[in-house]
Every structure is written in structure tokens, then in C-alpha cells.
Structure 1
Amino acid sequence: MLLAERHQKIVDLVNFRSSIRVSELSEIFSVTDETIRRDLEKLEKENKLRRSHGGAVSIQEKQSEVDFSEREITNVMEKKVIAREAVSQVEIGDRIILDASTTAWYMAKNLPDVPLTVITNSIKVAMELSKKEKIEVISTGGMLLPKSLSYVGPLAERSLDNYQVNKTFLSCKGLDLNSGLSDSNEWQALLKRRMIEKSNETILMVDSSKFGHREFSHIASLQSINQIIVDAKLDNALKEIIKEKNITVTTVNLFNESAS
């Protein structure tokens, strides 16, 4: 296969898959990983794709990142009561991570102005917390995703290496009992994985509509989660299966009454 032909096929694969790993490409084209890395470097310079950690992602316009304004009006009541329950689990002096989900934003709006340290990749969360004088806010920085108003990428991931927190509060686009947490955007998935790794305890805030769905990018296994806060619509059988995995399930109804 000619070099130009391989390059075109790589671009086609990346655009079709949204993202792909170096190891997959080297196997497909029967060349070394180093050859693929050189290919990706050249294609990035030609603005045909963007290199990512361990692979490449498409730069074509795609729907994997939903506008924050759209997410803000989806399952609003569920997200608000889940967020309020999450706030009740924050203690004075805690060091926490909040992701760029709308539930984390609702959580930021409800956090009391008490001594806390909050690390976030969300511009919306950071702006909300800037109104509270006693809360120290640390932004990850990184590559801005304009639709979600969040920072991602290697710089955002590396910034978390400097910290260890008490609790991470995050959400996800899909939750499957076998494959675990997933997101439609690879950059978000990689950063959420790092958030989990840097925390003593991870609390997943997710409404029941996310259960049974698998999105494109894997975040982590279900066993990496300590607690799930979910609305009361979640099937009782699913709750029991999750509890059998030694994960606390806290359910909240629309009147903000919770039960474990």
C-alpha cells in the first residue's frame, strides 16, 4: 500500500470511528506503532485529524458533545435533587473534584459558602463557585470544548496528577452493569477516568435514564465507583444487583427525600 493511500485510509477510519488507537491502526495496516505515530503526526500537521493520548480523534463536526444549554433542560428535576443529595455529602474542609456535567453545575449552585477546595474542568462550575468567597477553586485548564464549556486533553489530565482529593463527584452518558461507565466523547472519558484515580471516594450522580446504555468511550468499571446517587425511578432489581457489588445506592425522589 502506498503511503498516501494509507494516510487517506487512516483519516477515513478516524472520521468513521470518531477516535482510534495507535495499536489498532498498526494491526490494521501491518506496520509498527512508531510508523503509525509518524503518520498521525504528519496528518495532524495537515489538519486532517488530532492526535490524542494513545491514538487520534476526528476533527470533523460531530454530535458527541451536546451543547450545555441543551443538557441544562434535560431531566432537570432529577438532576437537581441528585445534586442536592450530593451536596449533603460534602463536609467542611473537603477537597473534591467536580466534572463538567450539568448535575455538577447544579451541585456547585447548592454548595454552601464554607471552606472547601474544588477542582473542576468546567467553566460553568468555576464561575458559579467564584461567587463563594470561602471556596478555593482550581481549574484544570487544557483544551476548551466550546459546546460543553469544559477543559479536556493531556494538559487537563496532567494537572490532576498534582492532587489527591477526598471525593470525586461525576456523571456519565451511559451506565452498563457489565461494561461500566461510558461517555460519548473520548476526551471527557479519559479525564473522568483520571478524576476517579485521584480520589479516595467516587460518587456517581446519574439519572435512571442512563442505565442500560453504552456510549462510545469507556470511562471505568462499575467497581471503581463507591456510591451511586440516582432518582427513585431506577428499577429495584437493578439496585440490588449494584448493591451486591458493594456499591452504595442512594435514591432520591422529586421531593428530595432520600433512601439508601
Structure 2
Amino acid sequence: MLMADRHRRIVELVEREGSVRVSELSELFQVTEETIRRDLDKLESEGKVLRTHGGAVRNEEPGLEIPVSEREIERIEQKRKIAEKAMEWIEVGDQIMLDASTTAWQMAKILPDIPLTVVTNSVKVVMELAGKDNIQVISVGGNLAVRSLSFVGPLAERSLDSYHVGKLFMSCGGCHLEYGISETTEEQARVKAKMIANSDELILLVDSSKFQKRAFTKIAPVRVADMLITDAEADPGIVEQIEALSVSVHRVE
């Protein structure tokens, strides 16, 4: 393969996956890791990727969230089906947390008006639940992250320490078998880590496009999840490996 073709394919991989590792590219293209490092250095100098320790990521501002207006229309049918499946684990009297993901917002839209307590950092979840009289809504304070319409920062983290719930329904920016669960910003990752620490059960809501992706900041290993709900397009091999971590996986059709 010519160097120009290899560079083109590397850029395509970075754009599609969000990040790549030197070792993976070396194996894929059957060249030395030193050659791949030179390739990545060249691509960075051309503004096509950003170098990281051990690889490269998309050339965009690190830790920049995708606006909620874009996320809420991405893979919407898969997210709706995942949210509908998650309803099977909602019971009268539950105390739950919902993160600021668009999948959790889909859950809020279809939550029945039954006695529940919902703790969230999402403005959209709060607004969705505002008209349901039987649901007690607790919104954590903090700095407003405009792109995600959510509260983050030290105040949000301290607020979450005031509550302990039975179930956390949460999505993420990436779900990678080795790297773990990750988010696009450090602020969101820290809030979600607090949510995990203050919940008995973590139920991950992850559409298949998130599998084997590494977002900017790691939250926790995949094995911390008790359950993962995904869509029918999920790679069976990845599902099997997640189940081997003692995580119960449910695929929706």
C-alpha cells in the first residue's frame, strides 16, 4: 500500500472511530509502529489528526461536547427502543438517577406518572418530568453546560453526594472493552463517576455505535455495570465479551 493510501485510510478510521492506537494501525497495515508514528506526526502537521500518547484522535477541540440538538436526532429509533426496554426495570416507589444523555431523556419522556424519585443533572429531563405530579424530581445544581443542557462542576458533584439511589440509568460517549466507559468532557465524566458511586445498580444505555469507541475522559471499567441495554446492530462478539465481564446484556430488536 502506498503511503498516501495509508494516510487516507488512517484519517477515515479516526473520523469514524474517534481515536486510533499505534499498535492497532501497525497490525492493520502490516508496518512497524515507528512507521505509524511517522504517519501520525505527518497527519498532525497537516491538521488532519491530533496526536495522543499511543495514538491519535479527531482534530477537534479535546473535551468539546456534541450539542444536544445534534445528539437528540442521532440514531433516534435505537435510543427510543433502548429507553422502552429500560422501562422494564422501573417499579413504583423506585429512587433512580438519570444522566444528561439523550437516551435518558427518551426514558423521561415515557416514564409513567407513578410514585418515583428521579435525581438528574439534565435540564431536559427536568422539563420533561415537570408535568408528572407523582414523580419527585431532584435537580442537582452547578455550572450549566450549554451544549448538553446539563449541570456539571464541583457543586453538581457535591450535590450528588447527598443522594443514594437504587438504579442509575446512564449512557456514555464510548464503551470500549479495554479502555472502559468514557465521556467527551472531563466535567461530564466526573459527574457520571459520582452517579455510579452513589447508586446500587448501574444500567448502561448504549447504542451499538458507541461500542469500541474511546471518548476523551475515562469514567470506569465496563465491568462496573450491572446491565447494558443496546440495539440489534450490536456486534455479537463484543456482546459476548461484555457478558464475560458478568454484565447482563439485553439487545432490543
Interval containing the TM-score (normalised by the shorter chain): 0.7 to 0.9
Rounded to whole Å, the distance in 1 between the matches of 2:131 and 2:62 is 34
One-letter code aligned to 2:78: E
Deviation at 1:240, TM superposition (A): 1.2
Deviation at 1:243, TM superposition (A): 1.0
Q: Does 1:164 align with 2:142?
A: no
Partner residue of 1:251?
251
Partner residue of 1:105?
105
Deviation at 1:150, TM superposition (A): 0.3
Deviation at 1:224, TM superposition (A): 1.0
Identity of aligned residues (%): 52
Rounded to whole Å, the distance in 2 between the matches of 1:160 and 1:63 is 22
Rounded to whole Å, the distance in 2 between the matches of 1:95 and 1:189 is 22
TM-score, structure 1 length as denominator? 0.73
Q: Which 5+ residue runs of structure 2 have no aligned equivalent?
A: 1-60
One-letter code aligned to 1:252: V
Rounded to whole Å, the distance in 1 between the matches of 2:95 and 2:143 is 24
Which digits, 9 at most, give the CA deviation of each residue in 1:36-77, with x for residues without a partner?
Answer: xxxxxxxxxxxxxxxxxxxxxxxxx77711111111110000
Q: Does 1:68 align with 2:46?
A: no
One-letter code aligned to 2:127: M
Rounded to whole Å, the distance in 2 between the matches of 1:83 and 1:137 is 19
Partner residue of 2:151?
151
Rounded to whole Å, the distance in 1 between the matches of 2:63 and 2:165 is 32
Deviation at 1:241, TM superposition (A): 1.0
| Count of paired positions | 194
Rounded to whole Å, the distance in 2 between the matches of 1:163 and 1:223 is 23
Deviation at 1:216, TM superposition (A): 1.1
Q: SS state of the match for residue 112, structure 1? A: coil
Partner residue of 2:19?
none
Rounded to whole Å, the distance in 1 between the matches of 2:146 and 2:243 is 37
Which digits, 9 at most, give the CA deviation of each residue in 1:50-109, with x for residues without a partner?
Answer: xxxxxxxxxxx7771111111111000000000111122111100000000000000000
One-letter code aligned to 2:204: L
One-letter code aligned to 1:113: D
Q: SS state of the match for residue 162, structure 1? A: coil
Rounded to whole Å, the distance in 1 between the matches of 2:120 and 2:243 is 29
Deviation at 1:242, TM superposition (A): 1.0
Rounded to whole Å, the distance in 1 between the matches of 2:123 and 2:101 is 11
Partner residue of 1:193?
193
- Structure 1's 76 and 86: CA in aligned 2 closer, same or farther, altered over 3 A? same
One-letter code aligned to 1:85: K
Deviation at 1:197, TM superposition (A): 0.6
Partner residue of 1:133?
133
One-letter code aligned to 2:164: Q
Partner residue of 1:85?
85
Rounded to whole Å, the distance in 2 between the matches of 1:125 and 1:62 is 26
Q: Does 1:213 align with 2:213?
A: yes
Rounded to whole Å, the distance in 2 between the matches of 1:90 and 1:194 is 21
Rounded to whole Å, the distance in 2 between the matches of 1:148 and 1:79 is 17
Which digits, 9 at most, give the CA deviation of each residue in 1:105-130, with x for residues without a partner?
Answer: 00000000000000000000000001
Rounded to whole Å, the distance in 2 between the matches of 1:132 and 1:190 is 29
Deviation at 1:237, TM superposition (A): 1.4
Deviation at 1:238, TM superposition (A): 1.2
Rounded to whole Å, the distance in 1 between the matches of 2:235 and 2:188 is 28
One-letter code aligned to 1:93: G
Deviation at 1:201, TM superposition (A): 0.2
Q: SS state of the match for residue 161, structure 2? A: helix
TM-score, structure 2 length as denominator? 0.75
